[in-house]
A and B are shown apart, each in its own frame.
Chain A
Amino acid sequence: SQQGEEDPQALSIQEGENATMNCSYKTSINNLQWYRQNSGRGLVHLILIRSNEREKHSGRLRVTLDTSKKSSSLLITASRAADTASYFCATVLYQKVTFGTGTKLQVIP
């Protein structure tokens, strides 16, 4: 299975701290994406990193990709209570999209 494993499964931090989530996967990819999901709702795309890229930034988000280790990380800097959500990585290989197991982030005000 291509499904990615994410760790930690759950993360609780104080507002203002940084949050780091990791994603590991098993096979080749075309790109890797990170999504956010608030409880029981649809997913929101955060950032896409292509297989030939190593790092990407978007606002308070920083994503890294190491294809040799088949891993990616998502860093959220200066977290806010509104960042509380589940975060999923998704690997894309041609038309197939596979989501990782997710990290549940709680940011305490």
Chain B
Amino acid sequence: DTEVTQTPKHLVMGMTNKKSLKCEQHMGHRAMYWYKQKAKKPPELMFVYSYEKLSINESVPSRFSPECPNSSLLNLHLHALQPEDSALYLCASSQGSSGSFNTQYFGPGTRLTVL
């Protein structure tokens, strides 16, 4: 199984809502990532989890809160978002190591719209 799944596929939320994005992989990968991608732009790295520990936080606002409950799951909790946070949120996983990271497998993304 080389699939990374993300739910939901689409999400519309108001600025006062609290919602969560979910990501799952069953490839035994130990590194998981969240990216944000605006239209016609490259993905921007938000967070990296390595062996269930947060290893990189690219100065993302605190209204985005990642969580890695176990090695297969990665969540992104959203609270008090702004309209400019509307984007495609991509999850990825890789074998991971303390050194050079290998091939990433991406999920299909969650299209988020903040009203």
Contacts and interface: CB of A to CB of B under 8 A. Distances in A.
Does A pair with B? yes
B109 interface: yes
A92 B108 contact: no
Interface of B: 4, 31, 33, 41-45, 48, 50, 55-56, 88, 90, 92, 99-109, 111
Contacts of B102: 31, 48
Interface string A64-103: 0000000000000000000000001010101111111110
A41 B109 CA distance: 7
Contacts of A33: 103-104
Interface of A: 3, 30-31, 33, 35, 40-45, 48, 50, 88, 90, 92, 94-102
A7 to B, nearest CB: 14
B101 A43 contact: no
